[in-house]
Structure 1
Amino acid sequence: MIKTAETYHIPVLLQESVDGLDIQPDGVYVDVTFGGGGHSREILRRLGPKGHLFSFDQDADAEKNIVSDSRFTFVRSNFRYLKNWMRYYGIEEINGLLADLGVSSHHFDDETRGFSFRFDAPLDMRMNRRADTTAADILNSYSEEQLSDIFYLYGELKQARRMAAAIVKARQQQPLQTTQDLINATAKLFSPKHEKKEQAQMFQALRIEVNHEMQALQEMLYGAQELLAKGGRLSVITYHSLEDRMVKNMMRSGNIEGKVEQDFFGRSNAPLKVVNNKVIVPSDEEIDRNPRSRSAKLRIAEKL
């Protein structure tokens, strides 16, 4: 297992995402995806003695990377509860929020968590190991239609129905318990040319369902929009089209549907203003250093 903060997770678009916050030294900031602490440390480096940073992570493993700093508060919780926790700490406004929505290198490299098809591991995939439902629970209890919907909506897989049918057939013989069980059940559906990509999409879809990622992201974005002070910044790194679409819509319209509301004079009522109309992506050098950054997109918005 990866054990050090330096290798727990290589922060993606580190300078660009923190630059996007336009940090005020005495401001209050939130990093809702603490992980290895890379982004949080950079934010703290730019804060003055009166500034403060709250960092969220629901994974107990992330606590090993907690920063010892009086200006820092770690919140072990899902970021969907952002508003609740800020209220708990008496924070009415924040000056910026950063989210790196990607799964950390640590999770992919930990053989016991089941996030990667590189290892034969229990089908777990829980970010928060205190949660009840695992990937195995879903695969063995969801109906064929429910499984098909997950693979189609969250994995964007064209053969979602066939995959669901294959899983239901396989579990009738014996429950699917490991990542290899899942690979074996669906192996014939992947062409050699696209096998790794489509298997990654299948695992992504399951992970999103296990952790309720889209619902949590929606709640966090609405909460962040309400909490941001005027001129406050939202800096979000996405990795797949579903979350990127939601973030883009929120930043452009103030809602996840992307519907821009207008006043009597036809002026937009959107509470946020997009800072970078052209999405920011990693340089070739960063991709070479950290291949997992390849699909990353950074979007930045400011509260009006």
Structure 2
Amino acid sequence: MTTKPSDLIAIANPQLAKKLAEKNTTKAKHTSAENSTESSSEPPTNAHKTYQQEIWRAVFTLNLFRYGCALIMLALGLASDLVNNFAPFRNFHHPTLFMYCAGLLLLSAIAFTLFTKTRRFPLRNILITQFFLDTVTAGLIVHSTGSISSSFTLLFLVIVTTGSVVLRRKEALALAAGSIITVFFEHFYSVLVTSDNIQWRFDSLAMYGVLLMFLSVAVSSLARMVRHAELKSFVPGNESIEEYLVREEITALKSALIATNGNKTEAAKLLGMTFRSFRYKLSKYEIS
């Protein structure tokens, strides 16, 4: 079976392939009977559509975890109001802040569910924003529940682990670094500024710092190996992955120019690139 250029573009740039497919829907309806017979032998569902659906479904599942955490925290807060000396809140230093964090987590879950459903923003931007807010919220939750000795410090391990799976390696390392900075800042602030009688826990700080960075490196490396293994299954022939990606990038650039009738500004927008980056790519690959 001959691989169609549109399928190759779908692998190199799924968003571009989707837009080109939508724009050429009308033309596809007027293809000849011979072409229709040839295309009928291919899978009825485009690979890039299925792949994108799986990614967005994974992001939605991640939001379900936020819903669960927020509802559990709200339930704990309500129980503390109904039952005096409710055990989970006996050692909490800032119960009100804890409730605000639960509300913030719930609102963020709702907002990101809407973003995921409408898909008006790039997936990577949504993920980075999600994990940034999660890190800040986790820091506030830990501060309200006893600083580094709080069991909620484990939230940072969950955030870094999940982030290292779906983000690029540099972004995963940045997430781990941000989490470490948040943990250190919260503990120093609790000891030096607040009057909560928090004791220094340098051993715990060091342990969490090493553990978070180790998780980021290990999980992101494993995720990268898996993605490369999956990519190899899409590469036709005996060319290297690097050669394949370069060829597909050139194909995507040319397809964008064709789709926009040579308008470089619109082509750059179609690919989600800045005009300067798009022009650099054209010059790099000598595309006129």
Larger Rg: 2
Fold equivalence (TM over 0.5):
no
The TM-score with structure 1 as length reference comes to: 0.27
Greater fraction strand: 1
**TM superposition score normalised by structure 2:** 0.28
